Amino acid sequence: MRDLLGYGEDEATMVAVFLHDQRQSGRVAGRLDRELGGALAAVPWNTSQPQLAAFIALKVGGAVFMELLIAVLVAAGIFNTLFVSVMERLREFGIMLAIGWSPGRLFRLVMMESVWLAALGLVGAFLLTLGPYLYLSSTGLDLTAVYGGTVEVAGVGLDPVLKIGIFPRNAVMIALFAVVATLASGIYPAWRAGRVEPVETIRVV
């Protein structure tokens, strides 16, 4: 192709710079563009490949929607677990109030249970997903038999061996969201535990 276009050894139409983290492409392109001084143009990948960027944005948007839906379902399950746990112990809470416990102390007790539930859930999730994550991040999922070779999206060839990865910041955000969702799900059950009537609940058999 270089011979057909009559290019010399030091001539090129485009030079691609590969980054370890594509999120830095805009910053790097801006810095290169300033250093080139207008002689050449440095653009990020999403500008030079708009169709690929649109495809990735569509995939990411769908993934975010599914993640939010799953998060709502998980939060509902946690709320149901805590609420049922509180309702089953109304008699015990009534006795605790009768012997001098304050509603605020009961509220803190149930919230502490939410904290332990969040901690155990994070540890369990880490242990369950560690093995599959290490395998899929190193070996990956080979889809060659499905696609019959290189996958092409918007004129860009992609490796048919799909590997997963997660940025550390995203992992921290997921963990924080899980903790916040668990604590938020425990607020109403904790409030309900501190509002029981001792006389009425003690008589419950």
Using the predicted structure, report yes or no on whether residue 40 has a pLDDT greater than 60: yes
Q: Which residues pair with 161 in a beta bridge?
A: 142
Using the predicted structure, report yes or no on whether residue 81 has a pLDDT greater than 80: yes
Q: Identity (one letter) of the amino acid at 168? A: P
* Bridge pairing between strands 141-142 and 161-162: antiparallel
Using the predicted structure, report yes or no on whether residue 205 has a pLDDT greater than 60: no
Closest CA to 29 of 13, 39, 41, 14: 41
Interval 2-23: pLDDT, tens: 778 788 877 877 888 888 888 8
Residue 171 has what pLDDT?
86
Interval 96-126: pLDDT, tens: 888 888 888 888 888 888 888 888 888 998 9
CA distance 99 to 189: 21
3-state secondary structure 134-200: HHHHHCCEECHHHHCCCEEECCEEECCEECCCCCHHHHHHHHHHHHHHHHHHCHHHHHHHCCCCHHH
CA distance 82 to 112: 11
Closest CA to 182 of 126, 114, 116, 108: 114
Residue 128 has what pLDDT?
92
